[in-house]
C-alpha cells in the first residue's frame, strides 16, 4: 500500500484508526513507516494512526482509548450544544479502559457495545448526550441536528427507540423548524409551563417571528451571534414598533436572559399573557 492508500484508509475509518485495522486491511509495518516518514499519516501514540486534518478532539478521544461522542461529537458536526464543549466526551464501549495522556480533559462514557476509536455516529452521540447532559441539552441538539438536515427519518426513529421510554415524548415534540438551540430551549420550557406556542410564524407587516403566543404575543429570541450590532438592533426595534402598531405585544430576550435569568423571562411572558388575555390584535391574520 502506498502512503496515500494508507491515509485514505485512515480517513475512511473516521480520521483515527488502530494499527491492527490497517494491518488487517493489507498494510505492512513497512508501509506504515513509509507513510509516517512522508507525513501522509501521524501516529499520536503507538497503536493509533491519524491523518494531518483529523480534528484534535478525535485524536484526544483516541488517546483516551475511545471514540468521540456526546457533546463533543455534536459540536464537531456543527450541531448546537447547550453549555459548551470544553471537555472531550469519549465513548469506551462497555469494557474499554480509559488511558491517561497529556492534557487529558476527557469525560468517559461507558455503555453497551464494542467501543473503538474515531467518532460515533451522530444519532449515537444524541442518545449519549441525553444521559450525560439531560433533557434540555438533548432536545436542543436534537432539534438543531434535524434543522441542519443531519437526521434522516430513520435516525430519528432510531433515537426514539434508544432513549428511555419516559423521554420519547421529547422526540415526538421536536420539529425541524427551530432556527437556534435557544429557540428549542424556550419552546420546551414554555411547554413545561403548559404554554403552547406557534413557532416561525409569518406576520404581514412584521415578518417571520420566532414565536407567537395566544395569537397576540410575539416572542423573539436573539442568538449569541450578533455580528452587526447597531444595524441589527435598529432593525429589531423597527420590527417591534411595527408589531406594536398592529396590536401585538412584542417581547425580546437574549441568550443571557434565557440561560441565566429564566425567571425574568418567565415572569415577563406570564405577565404579558395575563394582561392580554382575550384581547387579540384586530388586524392579525395569524391570530
Instruction: Please list, in sequence order, all residues whose beta carbon lies within 8 angstroms of the beta carbon of residue 68, skipping any fewer than 6 positions away.
Output: 57, 58, 60, 61, 76, 88, 89, 90, 91, 118, 119, 120
Nearer to Zn ion, 47 or 207 (CB): 47
Contact range with Zn ion by CB under 5 A, out of 59-67, 151-159, 216-224, 225-233: 59-67
Contact region with Zn ion (CB under 5 A), list: 47-55, 65-73, 180-188, 214-222: 65-73
Is residue 131 a contact residue for Zn ion (CB under 5 A)?
no
- CA of residue 196 relative to chain centroid, distance: 23
CB 65 within 8 A of CB 97: yes
Q: Which of 132, 244, 257, 286 binds Zn ion (CB under 5 A)?
A: 132
Residue 171 found at the interface with Zn ion (CB under 5 A): no
What phi, psi does 254 have (nearest 5°)? -115, 180
Kindly tell me which of 64 and 239 has the beta carbon lying closer to Zn ion: 64
Q: Choose between 93 and 247: whose C-beta lies nearer to Zn ion.
A: 93
Task: Please list the residues that pair with 118 across neighbouring strands.
Answer: 67
Residue whose CB is less far from Zn ion, 129 or 171? 129
| Shortest separation between residue 68's beta carbon and Zn ion, angstroms | 10
Judged by CB under 5 A, which of 50, 70, 122, 151 binds Zn ion? 70
Letters for 78-117 (x = contact with Zn ion by CB under 5 A, - = none) are -----------x--------------x-x-----------
Segment interacting with Zn ion (CB under 5 A) among 68-76, 142-150, 173-181, 267-275: 68-76
Q: How many CB atoms lie within 10 A of CB 73?
A: 30
**Residue from the set 64, 123, 160, 276 that interacts with Zn ion by CB under 5 A:** 64
Q: How far is the CB of 47 from Zn ion (least distance, A)?
A: 15
Q: Tell me the closest approach of the beta carbon of residue 140 to Zn ion, in angstroms.
A: 14
* Closer of 163 and 197 to Zn ion (Cβ): 163
Q: Rank residues 106 and 265 by Cβ distance to Zn ion and give the closer one.
A: 106
List residues binding Zn ion (CB under 5 A).
64, 70, 89, 104, 106, 132
Amino acid at each position: 500500500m502506498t502512503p496515500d492508500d494508507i491515509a485514505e484508509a485512515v480517513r475512511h475509518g473516521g480520521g483515527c484508526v488502530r494499527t491492527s485495522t490497517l494491518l488487517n486491511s493489507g498494510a505492512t509495518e513497512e508501509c506504515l513507516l513509509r507513510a509516517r516518514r512522508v507525513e501522509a499519516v501521524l501516529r499520536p501514540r503507538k497503536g493509533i494512526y491519524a491523518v494531518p486534518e483529523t480534528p484534535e478532539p478525535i485524536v484526544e478521544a483516541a488517546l483516551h482509548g475511545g471514540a468521540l461522542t456526546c457533546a463533543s461529537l455534536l459540536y464537531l458536526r456543527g450541531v448546537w450544544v447547550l453549555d459548551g464543549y470544553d471537555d472531550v466526551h469519549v465513548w469506551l464501549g462497555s469494557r474499554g479502559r480509559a488511558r491517561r495522556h497529556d492534557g487529558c480533559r476527557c469525560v468517559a462514557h461507558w455503555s453497551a457495545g464494542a467501543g473503538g476509536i474515531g467518532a460515533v455516529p451522530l444519532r449515537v452521540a444524541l442518545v449519549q448526550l441525553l444521559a450525560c447532559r439531560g433533557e434540555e441539552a438533548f432536545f436542543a441538539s436534537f432539534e438543531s441536528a434535524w434543522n441542519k438536515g443531519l437526521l434522516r427519518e430513520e435516525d430519528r426513529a432510531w433515537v426514539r427507540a434508544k432513549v428511555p421510554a419516559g423521554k420519547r415524548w421529547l422526540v415526538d415534540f421536536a420539529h425541524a423548524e427551530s432556527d437556534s438551540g435557544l429557540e428549542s430551549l424556550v419552546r420546551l420550557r414554555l411547554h413545561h409551563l403548559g404554554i403552547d406556542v406557534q413557532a416561525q410564524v409569518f406576520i404581514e407587516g412584521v415578518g417571520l417571528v420566532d414565536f407567537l403566543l395566544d395569537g397576540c404575543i410575539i416572542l423573539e429570541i436573539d442568538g449569541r451571534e450578533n455580528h452587526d450590532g447597531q444595524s441589527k438592533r435598529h432593525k429589531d426595534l423597527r420590527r417591534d414598533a411595527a408589531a406594536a402598531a398592529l396590536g401585538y405585544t412584542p417581547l425580546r430576550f437574549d441568550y443571557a436572559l434565557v440561560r441565566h435569568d429564566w425567571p425574568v423571562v418567565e415572569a415577563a411572558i406570564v405577565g404579558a399573557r395575563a394582561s392580554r388575555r382575550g384581547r387579540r390584535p384586530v388586524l392579525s391574520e395569524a391570530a
